[in-house]
Structure 1
Amino acid sequence: MAADKRIAGGGTSLASNPGLRQDLPDHNGRAGIVMRILGSLVVIAIAYLLFWPVPVNPVAYDPPRAPGFTGDFAVNRVLDQMELISLPDGELGPEDVAVTPDGHVYTTSLSGDLFRIDGPEPVRIDTLGGRPLGLRGGPDGALYIADSFRGLMRWSGPGTLESLVSEIDGKPVVYANNLDVARDGTIYFSNSTDRFDPETMGGTKPTSVMAIWEQSNTGYVARRDPDGTVKKIAEGFVYTNGVALSPQEDFLLISETGRARVHRLWLTGEKAGQQEIFFDNLPGYPDNLKAQGDGTYWLAFASPRVPSEKLMPYPFLRKVLWRLGPLVRPAPIRRGMVIQFDGEGNILRNLQDPEGRLGITTSAKKINDTFYVMTLTSPWYARMPAADLPPR
């Protein structure tokens, strides 16, 4: 009762003062504003996911189911025993390895430095610039380089770097990747894609992901003859990568990373000009190919097949996923593997690094008494005595 008297006598109630009621917050009105803002944000988010421009224009592709690591590709840990050799000064990315006729062994780095690696430790020999990828020693003693920024290059000593091919038919070589050199000096090299320039779009790793995610078939292989004539000899690849000549130079093997397969292009004989599938539906994405010189070849896998391949038949969904940003976009999986095979496609050796200790494996070859495995973005390459390789 005392409380009632206070209100009646000296207090103020909402009922007795309608003006006060109008001045208090309108909770329903505020909630409505918040809901309208949230609704607008949802609409904006949906519009972004559906319509925001992205650089990739995906093509529908229905990949075969990946075979997994069984049979000839059964899991093992042979690469675990390899010694990791770091590049000096924090350099990264010894992508490929090559030996010149004088017996010197070379690799390059992400920043464009050239290292000699046939001694105990890598030794910087020159600064080339660009982003050198594929390397091959030529019969003239020079080192030939597929530079992803500048095209096909030749190096014969410090300060001698020269450009051999930067365009074909008036169009730039956008993404030179790998090469092989014939005994007469003819050079075969791959251009991974004409769609994405690694120099202007973040480097070779992100542009490789873009090209494979898009599945556009603008990759090709070209030939440079000793007289300087250049022409495309095979086209229509989804991210062309490694190339390797047979010992008789009658065919060329070609890695098509984006379709997880290897092609054979016949260069001479009755089948000259014909192209056929050599390996299909591999368990990983093939990278560099290296001819061993004895009729066998080494092939490195940059990554196992990724689960997001399930979205390949759906171009629209792949665009939506790309708009979600780098954290959800497909990326290589660190799981090393290299194989050795012969000209008939028989797997002779299967060497793996299931835990991804090496990083992204890109190339392998036995040179003299040492076996090398190279990497895309790691600060090291790996080596081991060739005598320690498992038997074929």
Structure 2
Amino acid sequence: MASIVPYAIAATAILAAALLYRLETFEAVALPEHELARMAAPPLVVPNRNDKLLRGSERIGEGKLVGPEDIAYDPKTGLIYTGGDDGWISKVAFKDSAAESVAEKWVNTGGRPLGIVHGAHGEVVVADAYKGLLNISKDGVIQLLTDEAEGLKFKLTDAVDIGPDGTLYFTDASSKYSIEHAFLDMMDGRPHGRFLSYDPSTKQTTVLLKDLYFANGVALSHDQTFVIVCETAMLRCKKYYIQGPQAGSVEMFVENLPGLPDNIRYDGHGLYWIALGADPGLLRMLQKYPWIRKTIAMLDKYVGRPKTEKNGGSVAVDLEGKVVAHYYDAEVSYVTSCNKIAQYLYCGSLISSYITRLDLTRYPTTATATPST
């Protein structure tokens, strides 16, 4: 009789789990076949890499910042602006010595500032996950620019860049899930993201692209003819033409990235730097099986999921969309932005209390054994 007890307990647990699964309202869907085919392609082989991003790195503003998600450099003042999970936009005066660098709180948006870009008149434009697209004057006055398009409120305003005429290009990562539930958007399998523009002269918000899989970082191209938009859940970045004969069209910029792309920055010297939150190994597998994605979403909701994110960092991509260098570390995750300033790479994070800085001249990449063809 006693030998039956463990089987009875196991059967009860299985039945309870099956019932819970059926009752759970969250549903994941299968990805379209063409998207699965793209995801099945092997990740890019990068010709140069540094897999010890933390070796030799410094911590800027440690203890003064709370999840410094994006990094915007103002060459006029020499300051870095970044937004934290506590709602504060901070100014960071960085020095040759990390210990001498100073982080100072400036303005609190009352939300969760993510993407940041400098305007032409000393203002800072912020994509706030909760509030929408905000303009902050040099005197610290906050103005809401837009928080909806086509009758649909933004749910997770994410990244922003500015065009030569002052037009703002930005993303609403998900029209369904807020930042607290961003993981569910990744598990969902439906494309809820949008890429938009805001014209400050007409105050008009326009949806440029919809049905994006977690629309994330944006960056104006080096020649100002297109904007690059990252799709985190699909490991790729697209380019949307804003000028020339191809205006209004979209094509691939880079795909099969070796990590989950977040923000993207152009360094002014021929390279775009794409932050990679973590390696794509688990996501690639999960995209194939909606029932596993639903199960993991349930674990996240009721129990908590184990931390599997690793190998976060950044890739440098040339003007043609070719990845030329990869910086990462097994101990790093949730890297959200990387901005190259002089010889340093400054990386923001969703979870850390500092900005990571690496001297690229002292700690460069080295050639991999199998260069890309």
Shorter-chain TM-score tier = 0.7 to 0.9
1:286 equivalenced with 2:261 (yes/no): yes
CA distance in 2, matches of 1:351, 1:41: 44
Name 2:174's counterpart in structure 1: 193
CA distance in 2, matches of 1:297, 1:242: 12
CA distance in 2, matches of 1:284, 1:32: 47
Q: CA deviation at 1:131?
A: 0.4
Name 1:349's counterpart in structure 2: 325
Q: 1:182 to 1:246 in 2, by over 3 A?
A: same
Aligned to 1:144, what secondary structure does the other structure show?
strand
Name 1:8's counterpart in structure 2: none
Q: CA deviation at 1:225?
A: 1.1
Correspondence list, 1:211-250, <5 A? 211-227=185-201, 228-250=203-225
Name 1:110's counterpart in structure 2: 85
Name 2:108's counterpart in structure 1: 127
CA distance in 2, matches of 1:263, 1:373: 22
Q: CA deviation at 1:255?
A: 0.5
Q: 1:229 to 1:43 in 2, by over 3 A?
A: same
Q: 1:322 to 1:351 in 2, by over 3 A?
A: closer
CA distance in 1, matches of 2:189, 2:204: 30
Aligned to 1:333, what secondary structure does the other structure show?
coil
1:95 equivalenced with 2:69 (yes/no): yes
Q: 1:38 to 1:124 in 2, by over 3 A?
A: closer
CA distance in 1, matches of 2:114, 2:337: 10
Q: 1:352 to 1:66 in 2, by over 3 A?
A: farther
Q: CA deviation at 1:87?
A: 4.0
How many residues are treated as equivalent by the alignment? 353
Aligned equivalent of 1:390, options 339, 364, 372: 364
CA distance in 2, matches of 1:197, 1:71: 34
Question: Does the aligned pair in 1 maintain the 2:221–2:266 contact within 8 Å?
Answer: yes
Name 2:97's counterpart in structure 1: none
Name 1:180's counterpart in structure 2: 161
Structure 1 vs Structure 2: percent identity of aligned residues? 26
Q: Deviations over 1:64-97 (max 9, x none)?
A: 34635743364532442210124445x4210111
Residue identity matched to 1:261: R
Aligned to 1:117, what secondary structure does the other structure show?
strand
Following TM superposition, the consecutive aligned residue runs of length 4 or more in structure 1 with deviations greater than 6 angstroms are 30-38
**RMSD, aligned CA:** 2.9
Name 1:333's counterpart in structure 2: 309
Segments of 5+ residues of structure 2 without an aligned counterpart are 95-100, 367-373
CA distance in 2, matches of 1:312, 1:384: 33
CA distance in 2, matches of 1:118, 1:332: 34
Q: CA deviation at 1:250?
A: 0.5
CA distance in 1, matches of 2:63, 2:286: 41
Segments of 5+ residues of structure 1 without an aligned counterpart are 1-27
Residue identity matched to 1:350: H
CA distance in 2, matches of 1:215, 1:134: 24
Residue identity matched to 1:46: A
Residue identity matched to 1:187: L
Question: Does the aligned pair in 2 maintain the 1:321–1:328 contact within 8 Å?
Answer: no
Q: 1:118 to 1:312 in 2, by over 3 A?
A: same
Q: CA deviation at 1:56?
A: 4.1
Q: 1:361 to 1:167 in 2, by over 3 A?
A: same
Name 1:299's counterpart in structure 2: 274
Question: Does the aligned pair in 2 maintain the 1:349–1:390 contact within 8 Å?
Answer: no
Name 1:55's counterpart in structure 2: 26
CA distance in 2, matches of 1:349, 1:40: 52
Q: CA deviation at 1:151?
A: 0.8
Question: Does the aligned pair in 2 maintain the 1:251–1:265 contact within 8 Å?
Answer: yes
1:168 equivalenced with 2:144 (yes/no): no
Q: 1:369 to 1:302 in 2, by over 3 A?
A: same
Q: 1:133 to 1:53 in 2, by over 3 A?
A: same
Residue identity matched to 2:24: P
Q: 1:254 to 1:36 in 2, by over 3 A?
A: closer
Name 2:369's counterpart in structure 1: none
Question: Which one has more relative contact order, counting CA pairs under 8 Å at least 6 apart?
Answer: 2
Alignment TM-score, normalising by the size of structure 1? 0.81
Between 335-344 and 254-263, the greater mean CA deviation after superposition? 335-344
Aligned to 1:80, what secondary structure does the other structure show?
coil
CA distance in 1, matches of 2:4, 2:260: 53
1:46 equivalenced with 2:18 (yes/no): yes
Residue identity matched to 1:93: G
